[in-house]
Amino acid sequence: MSDQLSTEHLLGIQDLTPDDIDLIFRTADGFKEVLSRPIKKVPSLRDITVANLFFENSTRTRISFELAEKRLSADIINFSSSSSSVKKGETLIDTVNNILAMKVDMVVMRHPDPGAAVFLSRHVRARIVNAGDGTHEHPTQALLDAYSIREKLGRVRGVKVAIVGDILYSRVALSNIHCLHKLGAEVTLCGPPTLMPRHVASLGVRVEHDLDKALAWCDVANMLRIQLERQGGDGLANFPGLREYAMLYGLDLPRYRRLGRDIVIMHPGPINRGVEVTSEVADHANSIILDQVENGVAIRMAVLYLLAGRIPREN
């Protein structure tokens, strides 16, 4: 058991060891307690400045990070590409170095291009937290998903998790697979063949195209959002229609009841109600969708705290 992360940045789950993940979870336990206090703020990061760079829209991840930073007393600057010089042709390194020139210690970045976070970590002097890079990784989401499973079931090792839906365009799926495997869980991917990446079985997961079989197997169903904005030209190039998708891969109450047992329902949000899950399922007693959101702040606080602890002080 170590008290220090093995990495200076959080670029992806692939770089973390099981010990790192365990340390993040233990630290998040402490921050969950902080978040239940009347005054939900600690002074740990008061000499740290964090820049939130969102080159792609993401309201909830940005809010979650921002709240985590504020609860840690960090100074924050927010930057989004829609209102920036990126549109004027500035390169990523120039943009970031301009911000770092104002003495910023950490960068939280969402970017549409896979590998953007790794690229940045090699070229700038700041700690990078990947808040999603294209279809590659979204490590804090995977951590909060596994943390929520641990909280609900008491363990992650040996738990059977079905990741259902749009695997092809989802960065959540890849990070989740890595994270769950490192913690000893079993993973089955389930979705239409058109939304399943090729060679995905090489990651050591089972692939199932029949949702009922996947549900019968699993303890936890993580119902991924259909990435409507990424589905190509007319919006729906990979399946005939939302209604057909919902019938084959959506989870409604009758389908849930047919299982004859309880499974945990997860969704990374935002939900397309009636597509991936119906309202009755989303609001079901075994749905931990809102716990995921709550745990997201604690997990992000833990990641920022542990990474900031490795930044040397200038004296």
Q: Which residues contact another protein (rule: CB under 8 A)?
A: 3-4, 23, 26-27, 29-31, 33-34, 37-44, 47, 305-306, 308-313
User: Using an 8 Å Cβ cutoff, are 301 and 31 in contact?
Assistant: yes
Residue closer to another protein by CB (options 254, 312) is 312
Strand extents, DSSP E, the chain? 49-54, 75-80, 106-111, 127-133, 160-164, 186-190, 206-208, 220-223, 264-266
What angle is formed at CA 59 by the lines to CA 53 and CA 28, rounded to 5 degrees? 80
Residue closer to another protein by CB (options 275, 302) is 302
Residue closer to another protein by CB (options 203, 311) is 311
Least Å distance, CB 294 to another protein, is: 17
End-to-end CA distance of the chain: 31
Q: What radius of gyration, in Å, describes the C-alpha atoms of the chain?
A: 19
User: Using an 8 Å Cβ cutoff, are 153 and 185 in contact?
Assistant: no
Least Å distance, CB 66 to another protein, is: 18
Q: Are strands 264-266 and 220-223 parallel, antiparallel or unpaired?
A: parallel
Least Å distance, CB 39 to another protein, is: 4
Q: 254 φ, ψ to 5°?
A: -55, -40
Q: How many residues does the chain have?
A: 315
Residue closer to another protein by CB (options 28, 187) is 28
Residue closer to another protein by CB (options 128, 185) is 128
Residue with tokens 């400045």: 49
Residue closer to another protein by CB (options 39, 102) is 39
Least Å distance, CB 303 to another protein, is: 12
Least Å distance, CB 307 to another protein, is: 9
Sign for the pseudo-dihedral over CA of 174, 179, 184, 185: negative
- Alpha-carbon distance of 144 to 300, in angstroms, equals 8
Least Å distance, CB 40 to another protein, is: 8
Residue closer to another protein by CB (options 26, 243) is 26
Q: Which of 144, 94, 125 is nearest to 9 (CA)?
A: 125
Least Å distance, CB 7 to another protein, is: 13
